[in-house]
């Protein structure tokens, strides 16, 4: 639907109104509008300010530990080549992991939080609020708030508080207040509603540190730009290590910040196939999934127009995923545009497939991936065996999976 | 083009008193009860009715209106049924203005053109859509104005003099001044500040200015009504309904009667507003 004309470049969005085609925009209450316009102005100044860039660069290097490694996943590659041989194909692409799990705080979320906390500082805000699903963003937000001396309130769905208890404790240690949200299914969508209610109430002194590339303009753009360091590094590292670009890049998409961060620098490399992975949950036939771009339709929520899981009356559905970070009925607006333009494919991976990838990666690589990232790995496991041995796949290993061990144990019927 | 809102506001101006604008959630706690509550509003003294369109994710609403929306949705309310409620109300009252209030997504999914045609046919006079600021006017505001439906904009304490003209540009019917930064149902802001804000907005527009968010009692309605052209009461009415519902949603008393009692008191408040102001 809504097939736009093929643009000369896929990297020029959004337009001045914050639109990526029909997606994006600024669908917010009037109370927030002046603040969002101010944020846009500050962001436009900051992104061309050498001082801002230098400060972010310095923190990225010395605090977050960038650049993150581009790692040849030899154990997984070997395993997938055996799978390929068993099928009589004799192939098996080389699989690389972009190791965002090695960043400070254990995921890609720190990239965005460092950028935004510097913006909050420039805007003279006194208080930070954030929403979180898996808790990865909440931890990253609490971390930068601690580092820069801001009080921080993190809204987290009550269901997620229960299934991500290690991250809840981490946030509390970092001095943040975690407010459980019981509305709806108690997941990321509900946390975002509550964060918006806080923001609209405390608009004068509060900076809303959104964790994903969604929300009203300019958030999708600025979060993408802070996360694009992932793809920029990966592209250069691949050229250095293999002397060429990858054939396929894959990332999991909840709101879609790690994915847009990896994808954006590759969008105009037409030879690179780009695949985003949605949470297929228990299958797309029912309602227990979060595959908004495969099973939803465009609508307006949380400040932007994007693909949403919703009923015929425009009421938003709750969705389901084994992974708290993917448990969101919408997606960042740029992904919706990339979907409709055909530049990026979006495919679902089921809970069980992600669980299998989680276990396999742990066993053959000695890396425990986040359940979110395990969705992306699961797709690499599907396609790599039927690719040639000289082909290359990059998977964004967006976070580490220590936080998920309780969930996985429960799924496997084990007590820990 | 004049709408029922314009005519009602002009009439009240000639009477020298502010309007009482009452909010109920369409379909709360169920369709039939909500319709009987709605029919009772003008009798109890309401001048304009705001009819809430329930939405699963009401980002600018406090717990009371969130809960009302959930009750309505659970009872099977849809946008189509909210429009039906309005047209059933219209069968016996062709004078009281009805303003639909809610969020954009259900309208977007219904289809803007189809929605405006059906809203017009159902006797709707105005729209308040919380998540459509002037920057998004092409979506619904302009089509609504072309269809002869008022688009009522919210002005807030963060809407400064520089921004006010943009907010007022395509506003019609009245301006809804949100008394504080926050969600519906919070505590009322300092009334002196509210009066100052109303005067500030009136400096930019000839439209009536109604004040809402936080007005709960007849006394507050009287004080706010001394400077504003209208007083909006929402959460207090929604709470009056919730208060006569048991833990399983069963009615422990008649919600329509509970609302009528509250609204009668509020109506006395606004009716004494200017009297008090001139004393």
ipTM: 0.95
- State residue A381's pLDDT score: 98
Structure-token pair, residue B31: 């369709």
Residue in A102, A112, A99 with CA at minimum distance from that of residue A138: A112
Task: Using DSSP bridges, classify how beta strands A23-27 and A303-308 pair: parallel, antiparallel or unpaired.
Answer: antiparallel
Note whether A97 and A233 are within 8 A (CB): no
Give the closest-approach CA distance of B275 to chain A in angstroms. Answer: 33
Is B197's Cβ below 8 Å from some Cβ in A?
no
A104: pLDDT strictly greater than 60:
yes
- State residue B275's pLDDT score: 62
Q: By three-state DSSP, how is residue A49 classified?
A: coil
Is B104's Cβ below 8 Å from some Cβ in A?
yes
| Segment A250-290, tens digit of pLDDT | 999 999 999 999 999 999 999 999 999 999 999 999 889 99
- State residue A3's pLDDT score: 55
Q: pLDDT tier at A311 (50, 70, 90 boundaries)?
A: very high
What average pLDDT does this structure show over B119-123?
A: 98
| Segment A184-202, tens digit of pLDDT | 778 889 999 999 999 999 9
* Residues found in chain B: 279
Strand-pairing partners, residue A208, are: A129
A131 is catalytic: yes
What average pLDDT does this structure show over A167-191?
A: 92
What average pLDDT does this structure show over A79-85?
A: 98
Q: Report how far residue A232's alpha carbon sits from residue B186's, in angstroms, rounded to the nearest whole number.
A: 46
**Quick one: DSSP state of residue A108?**
T
Is B60's Cβ below 8 Å from some Cβ in A?
yes
Q: pLDDT tier at B279 (50, 70, 90 boundaries)?
A: very low
**Quick one: DSSP state of residue A279?**
E
Q: What is the mean pLDDT of chain A?
A: 95
Q: Cβ contact (<8 Å) for A315 and B56?
A: yes
CB contacts of A25 in chain B (<8 Å) are 135-136
- State residue A184's pLDDT score: 74
A156: pLDDT strictly greater than 80:
yes
What average pLDDT does this structure show over B256-264?
A: 97
What average pLDDT does this structure show over A65-87?
A: 98
A318 vs A218, more confident:
A218
**Quick one: DSSP state of residue A61?**
I
Give the closest-approach CA distance of B72 to chain A in angstroms. Answer: 12
| Segment B4-54, tens digit of pLDDT | 999 999 999 999 999 999 999 999 999 999 999 999 999 999 999 999 999
Which element (helix H / strand E) includes B20?
strand B19-25
| Segment B136-152, tens digit of pLDDT | 999 999 999 999 999 99
A 10 A CB-CB count for A8 gives 7
């Amino acid at each position: 639907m809504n097939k736009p004309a093929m643009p000369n470049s896929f990297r020029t969005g959004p337009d001045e109104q914050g639109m990526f085609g029909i997606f994006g925009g600024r669908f917010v209450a009037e109370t927030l509008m002046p603040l969002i316009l101010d944020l846009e102005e500050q962001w436009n100044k900051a992104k061309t300010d050498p001082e801002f860039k230098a400060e972010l660069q310095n923190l990225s290097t010395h605090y977050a530990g960038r650049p993150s490694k581009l790692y040849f996943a030899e154990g997984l590659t070997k395993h997938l080549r055996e799978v390929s041989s068993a099928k009589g194909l004799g192939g098996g692409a080389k699989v690389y992991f972009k190791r965002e799990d090695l960043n400070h705080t254990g995921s890609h979320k720190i990239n965005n939080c460092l950028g935004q906390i510097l913006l909050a500082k420039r805007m003279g805000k006194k208080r930070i609020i954030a929403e979180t699903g898996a808790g990865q963003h909440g931890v990253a937000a609490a971390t930068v708030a601690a580092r820069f001396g801001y009080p921080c309130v993190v809204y987290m769905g009550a269901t997620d508080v229960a299934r991500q208890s290690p991250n809840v404790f981490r946030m509390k240690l970092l001095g943040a207040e975690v407010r459980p949200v019981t509305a709806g299914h108690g997941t990321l969508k509900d946390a975002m509603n509550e964060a918006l209610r806080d923001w609209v109430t405390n608009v004068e002194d509060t900076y809303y540190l959104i964790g994903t590339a969604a929300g009203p303009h300019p958030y999708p753009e600025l979060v993408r730009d802070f996360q694009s360091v992932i793809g920029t590094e990966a592209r250069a590292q691949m050229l250095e290590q293999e002397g060429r670009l990858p054939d396929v890049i894959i990332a999991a998409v909840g709101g879609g910040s790690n994915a847009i961060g990896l994808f954006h620098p590759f969008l105009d490399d037409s030879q690179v196939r780009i695949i985003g992975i949605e949470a297929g949950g228990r299958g797309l036939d029912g309602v227990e999934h979060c595959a908004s771009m495969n099973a939803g339709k465009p609508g307006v929520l949380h400040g932007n127009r994007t693909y949403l899981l919703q009923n015929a009356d425009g009421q938003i559905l709750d969705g389901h995923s084994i992974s708290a970070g993917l448990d969101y009925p919408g997606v960042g607006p740029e992904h919706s545009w990339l979907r409709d333009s055909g530049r990026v494919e979006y495919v679902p991976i089921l809970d069980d497939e992600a669980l299998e990838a989680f276990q396999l990666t742990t066993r053959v690589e000695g890396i425990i991936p986040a359940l979110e990232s395990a969705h992306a790995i699961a797709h690499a496991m599907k396609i790599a065996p039927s690719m040639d041995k000289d082909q290359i796949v990059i998977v964004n290993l967006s976070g580490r999976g220590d936080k998920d061990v309780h969930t996985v144990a429960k799924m496997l019927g084990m007590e820990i | 083009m004049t709408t029922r809102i314009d005519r009602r506001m002009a009439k009240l101006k000639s009477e020298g008193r502010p309007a009482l604008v009452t909010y109920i959630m369409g379909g709360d706690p169920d369709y039939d009860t909500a319709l009987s509550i709605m029919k009772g509003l003008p009798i109890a003294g309401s001048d304009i009715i705001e009819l809430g369109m329930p939405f699963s994710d009401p980002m600018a609403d406090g717990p009371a209106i969130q809960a009302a929306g959930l009750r309505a949705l659970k009872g099977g309310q849809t946008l189509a049924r909210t429009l039906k409620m309005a047209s059933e109300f219209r069968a016996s009252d062709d004078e009281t203005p009805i303003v639909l209030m809610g969020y954009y997504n259900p309208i977007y999914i219904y289809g803007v053109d189809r929605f405006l045609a059906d809203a017009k046919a159902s006797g709707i006079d105005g729209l308040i859509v919380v998540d459509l600021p002037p920057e998004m006017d092409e979506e619904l505001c302009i089509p609504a104005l072309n269809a002869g439906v008022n688009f009522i904009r919210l002005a807030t304490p963060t809407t400064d003099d520089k921004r006010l003209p943009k907010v007022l540009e395509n506003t019609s019917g009245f301006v809804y001044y949100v008394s504080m930064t926050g969600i519906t149902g919070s505590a009322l802001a300092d009334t002196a500040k509210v009066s100052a804000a109303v005067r500030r907005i009136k400096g930019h527009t000839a439209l009536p200015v109604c004040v809402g968010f936080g007005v709960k009692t007849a006394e507050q309605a009287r004080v706010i009504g001394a400077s504003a052209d209208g007083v909006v009461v929402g959460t207090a009415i929604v709470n009056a309904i919730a208060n006569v519902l048991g833990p399983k949603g069963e009615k422990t008393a008649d919600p329509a009667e509970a609302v009528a009692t509250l609204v009668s008191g509020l109506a006395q408040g606004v009716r004494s507003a200017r009297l008090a102001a001139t004393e």
